[in-house]
Amino acid sequence: MKYLDEFRSPELIKGQLGRLRELAGGGTFMEVCGTHTVAVSRAGLRPLLSPQVELVSGPGCPVCVTSERDMGRAIALAHADGAILATFGDMMRVPGPRGTLMEAASRGAEVRVVYSPLDAVRLAEEHPRRRVVFLGVGFETTAPTVAAAVLLAEEKGLQNFYVLSLHKLIPPALRALVNMEDFTIDGFLLPGHVSVVLGSEAYRFLPRDHGMPCAIAGFEPADILRALYLLVRMKQEGKPAVVNEYSRAVRPEGNRKAREAMARVFREADAEWRGLGVIPGSGLVLREGFSGRDAANWEVEVPEPVERRDCRCGEILCGRAKPPECPHFARSCTPESPLGPCMVSSEGTCASYYLYETREGE
């Protein structure tokens, strides 16, 4: 804890704020990662940075960006004959076209909350006559562990273990964002956990092709403030680059073993993101050699998505809106009764604002 406490030191944080305020410029920056959003909100950094620096949340919550169509498929698989759907707990209340996984379980579907993909492999061992489907949701951080689970099932000869891969890749989403006509962000606060796997080289296209300053940051207040200082300075000097503030965990080459495991099991494919639509090459699906384990190939009826005019989650994920701008925020939409996934997930922007930041009307 001592090493972490050093990055939470009030003296260090005050010093970082002072250095940032000494800079003549500012800007609007997007914290891509949902864990950064939580860290910023919990530490109360937004009001301390305003008006010099404005922070806007992005599509870095894997639960939040899962499309309604994909949730509809997951719920349909949960109702499939002889199936057990294994999922992380924060997916249970994400709305699909016909309710949530929690509601599906109340209607008789077999849904199990697990803490690791390996728990789902164990379920397949314990229920050899049932088809166990793991709901694979996450970014480059979790995909290697799902790949390891697939390889373990192969090693054990478990023919009843399947995966519905809804994994997303961060770099293609960033490319889609900067190509949006109304995207006015000055730079990116890049995710720490994803970058541990990807490394810093994966983002070089942002300053090279789009003139976008980028800083990879850790999750302590001093990490975030140092990264923002670097972003403002790059913007002020007109020298965009990818700087790695989180060098104690992130290497330029990333984690090669994790990437090799992903590449062995998955291939890139188009994927649908909530708020961003279909992004080419932004998802992961099982390779042909593992296609027999792909639950996406099951013949199930997937209902058409429902347009939810009462939820602005898609706009929030693109940086086009902030939670207090939604008329339902903290009123008809709360963590106890969420209208959309941004209020469901512990890393969701709306949940973070609700729990840690001032709510309008109070």
Residue 289: CB atoms within 10 A of its CB come to 10
Q: Which two tokens stand for residue 157?
A: 């000869």
- Is the pLDDT at 211 greater than 50, yes or no? yes
**pLDDT tens across 317-352, in order?**
999 999 999 999 999 999 998 989 999 998 999 999
Quote the longest CA-to-CA distance of the chain: 66
- Looking at residue 1, its pLDDT comes to 43
Q: Which residues partner with 86 through β-bridges?
A: 112, 134
Of 99, 139, 64, 137, the C-alpha closest to 344 is 64
Mean pLDDT to the nearest integer, 304-326: 88
**pLDDT tens across 127-180, in order?**
999 999 999 999 999 999 999 999 999 999 999 999 999 999 999 999 999 999
Higher pLDDT, 290 or 99: 290
- Looking at residue 98, its pLDDT comes to 84
Of 311, 70, 315, the C-alpha closest to 183 is 315
- Is the pLDDT at 224 greater than 80, yes or no? yes
Query: pLDDT band for position 311 (50/70/90)?
Result: confident
Calculate ∠ Cα 241-276-211, nearest 5°: 20
What percentage of the chain exceeds 70 in pLDDT? 96
**Mean pLDDT in the chain?**
93
Contact 35, 41 (CB under 8 A): no
- Phi, psi dihedrals of residue 198, rounded to the nearest 5°: -75, -35
- Looking at residue 362, its pLDDT comes to 44
Query: Cα 103 from chain centroid?
Result: 24
Query: Cα 346 from chain centroid?
Result: 11
**pLDDT tens across 248-299, in order?**
999 999 999 999 999 999 999 999 999 999 999 999 999 999 999 999 999 9
284: which residues sit within 8 A by CB, 6+ positions away? 143, 165, 167, 168, 169, 262, 266, 267, 268, 269, 271
Mean pLDDT to the nearest integer, 233-244: 97
| Distance in angstroms (rounded) separating the CA atoms of residues 304 and 56 | 31
pTM of the complete model = 0.93
- Is the pLDDT at 359 greater than 70, yes or no? no
H or E segment to which residue 315 belongs: helix 313-317
- Looking at residue 361, its pLDDT comes to 39
Q: Which two tokens stand for residue 109?
A: 């579907």
Query: pLDDT band for position 24 (50/70/90)?
Result: confident
- Looking at residue 74, its pLDDT comes to 97
- Looking at residue 360, its pLDDT comes to 44
> Mind listing the domains of the chain with CATH numbers?
2-60+182-244 (3.40.50.11750), 64-169+254-297 (3.40.50.11740), 313-356 (no CATH)
- Helix, strand or coil for residue 283? strand
- Helix, strand or coil for residue 89? helix
What percentage of the chain exceeds 90 in pLDDT? 87
Q: Which residues partner with 87 through β-bridges?
A: 113
Q: Which residue has the tokens 């800079």?
A: 23
Q: What value does the CA radius of gyration of the chain take, rounded to a whole number of Å?
A: 21
Of 94, 86, 58, 93, the C-alpha closest to 212 is 58
- Is the pLDDT at 93 greater than 90, yes or no? yes
